[in-house]
A and B are shown apart, each in its own frame.
Chain A
């Protein structure tokens, strides 16, 4: 009898909100309000929801996988250019980002845990912590990309190999602002979008405004790479195209994740996830951990090709 009522009424009123008006338990013994009609019980719903998110994550693995393949292929072909490109990234910031993301995975796992235990305030706290850490990641990325912009490393946007000789990052360091502004403005539009051009003379007036210590180490490093060679420059461009595509796609995923976590912070505050319906938090957690895993692979592949020499050691 219960099953008859059950199957008869399902087709007509599918949104679960319809149930909350009708508290006649003998009609709706189906389960708690957040158990959808098309599932027999919570366990089945839980499993299905989780598998749905895993299916999506599998498609994401393949999407990033394609980029990782392209990266691998060109790393094999242009190893030296990759080493140079990697040496121009800021390992300190990259490490900081890795730490921030791993920490955010912990706070996200704690948020899921709180939802399972129905601790509303703890849930909101952990979600906010996740938001802060994710925001920190995006902020650090913005700083890195701004530095790359000023150093002439963004293909089609601020690509200027002439800047490389003078602003090669000192061991682990970031760009130094003013001189690069002047140089970029001077070299102008002719270099935007064309990776190559003729071999440029190494010295130009604007570059003399120096940071002596930085220039020394950058020259020492730069002298090991044929950065004036146009083919080499093109290959370095390949590295940076992949760098920005991969970290850019990753950042887009982060921003979307932050949006969802922010929304869930609000909903969680209103108690949506602490009355037994902890699943949405769980599956957003799955998404978040996936984004973290992508970064765990991106970091060594993009930043550490050239090695890690914090004490200014050899190359």
Chain B
């Protein structure tokens, strides 16, 4: 394994001078893909505003707004942050953040709800 590493790095050092080496990078994303994602993000921004122009029934307003925001975030994470082309371990780390966020929200909100501390929506006086 040491010999292999030595050989490998010899070859790598030679290649370094001549052209970009991608053998230690998973993927170089083409510019066209970045531009496509950016176009989608712009569309989603316009959608965010468009949806805000209508008053949807019940909790739909916030659900739709958050869905659009989540789609934007997912696009940024997968493509701009390269997660789509990264190892499973990276996916795990990235996903873990949101898993813990979910735990914090669900447990804390259920704590409030189970104590009856959340009034009917819209009340300003308890």
Contact = CB atoms under 8 A, between A and B. Distances in A.
15 contacts: A2-B2, A62-B101, A65-B101, A73-B118, A76-B121, A102-B38, A106-B38, A113-B31, A116-B20, A116-B25, A116-B28, A293-B77, A299-B69, A307-B53, A308-B52
Contacts of A77: 118-119, 123
B110 interface: no
B124 A46 contact: no
Contacts of A38: none
A61 B118 contact: no
Given A6-B2, A289-B77, A296-B73, A69 B104 contact: yes
A278 B21 CA distance: 11
Which 8 pairs across A and B sit closest by C-beta, in order of nearness?
Answer: A3-B2, A42-B24, A308-B52, A58-B97, A61-B97, A29-B6, A54-B93, A304-B52
B6 A79 contact: no
Contact of A297 (B5, B73, B118, B123): B73
Interface string A52-69: 001101100110011001
Interface in B96-126: 96-98, 100-101, 104-105, 108-109, 112, 118-119, 121-125
Interface residues of B, number: 66
Given A29-B5, A32-B9, A76-B118, A61 B34 contact: no
Given A80-B124, A117-B28, A307-B53, 13 more contacts: A25-B10, A31-B13, A41-B5, A77-B119, A99-B42, A116-B22, A116-B25, A116-B28, A296-B73, A296-B76, A300-B65, A307-B54, A308-B53
Given A99-B45, A116-B25, A50 B97 contact: no
A51 B72 contact: no
A77 B112 CA distance: 11
Contacts of B49: 95, 304, 308
A292 interface: yes
Q: Give the interface centre of B5, B10, B54, B77 by most chain A CB atoms within 10 Å.
A: B5
B104 A105 contact: no
Interface in A7-34: 25, 29-32
Interface of A: 1-3, 6, 25, 29-32, 35, 40-43, 46-47, 50-51, 54-55, 57-58, 61-62, 65-66, 69, 72-73, 76-81, 95, 98-99, 102-103, 105-106, 108-110, 113, 116-118, 226, 229, 231-232, 235, 275-276, 278, 282, 285-286, 289-290, 292-293, 296-297, 299-301, 304, 307-310, 313
A80 B122 contact: yes
Contacts of A43: 24
Given A76-B118, A289-B80, A300-B69, A307 B97 contact: no
A79 B101 contact: no
What secondary structure prevails in chain B residues at the interface with A? helix
A30 B2 contact: no
A32 B108 CA distance: 49
A97 to B, nearest CB: 11
B93 A276 contact: no
A1 B69 CA distance: 55
Contacts of A286: 81
A277 to B, nearest CB: 11
A280 B96 CA distance: 23
B105 A69 contact: yes
B84 interface: no
Contacts of B5: 2, 29-31, 40-41
Contact of B68 (A61, A106, A300, A310): A300
A2 to B, nearest CB: 5
A293 B12 contact: no
